[in-house]
Amino acid sequence: MPDAVELDLSSAHFAIAAKDWGLPDLYDFLSTGQSLWMPLLEHVGLPPELRFKKVVKSGSYGVVYGAGERRIISDMQAEHEALTGSQMPAEQASRLLTHPLIRETLEGRTRELESIREAIRDRGYVLDCFGKQISRGKNGFGHANERDFSRSILAQLNQARELRLMEPLLELAEAESRKARPNWRIVLWQHDGVSIRATRRTEKVIEQIQLICRLRRTDDYPTHLHG
């Protein structure tokens, strides 16, 4: 978006999985402030260029949000083809799933999905981070769709957590909008990030937003707001 600056939470979906699913290796890695994208690109055998981040990122979303192996691979292939005009071999894409931190994430996901299924069987719902009940819904929760529905619930839990992590920024934006002459405003919402437009000294405004949001956060999720 012209004249807009993007701010998003670094590796938000991995940070949520690391904390909520109890993944010590992933948590420790992200807590150092390092980016996971370059190690994943190297492991998959893609050039260490920022533009190829989209390829491994598409697969990583599937890992965290419950996609099966075939879907993860096909998403990566589609992103690679859109980027380069050529399709990535399935064998190469599947290397993502063998990275130690991705393996840890997949194991944690399996435990989390089973925990969701048990909760649904026992009491009919799970609670997200806002205390909202997520239940069986209209689809029911029989043997035929139990697996798919647990993945849907997992995605909803993760999305709620993303929103919770973005709350300091949203509260700050609301307070800014009440000023007679706001210095910035959100022009596009992107789940774990936003595009903002500043009316003065964009770089200084971004620094202030990042600082205030960091001070207002009370959680220990290994992610931070960056532009």
Kindly compute the dihedral angle of the four CA atoms of residues 68, 19, 173, 171, in this order, to the nearest 10 degrees. Answer: 120
**Structural tokens at position 206:** 């971004």
Rounded percentage of the chain residues whose pLDDT exceeds 70: 94
**Residue 183, amino acid:** N
In the chain, what is the greatest distance between 2 CA atoms, to the nearest angstrom? 57
Do residues 144 and 58 lie in contact, with contact meaning Cβ atoms separated by under 8 Å? no
pLDDT in tens, 65-117: 989 999 999 999 999 999 999 999 999 999 999 999 999 999 999 999 999 99
Q: What does the alpha-carbon distance between residue 113 and residue 220 come to, in Å, rounded to a whole number?
A: 23
pLDDT in tens, 175-212: 988 999 888 888 888 777 888 888 877 788 888 888 88
Q: What does the alpha-carbon distance between residue 100 and residue 26 come to, in Å, rounded to a whole number?
A: 9
Do residues 36 and 30 lie in contact, with contact meaning Cβ atoms separated by under 8 Å? yes
The confidence score (pLDDT) of residue 147 equals 66
**Structural tokens at position 94:** 């599947």
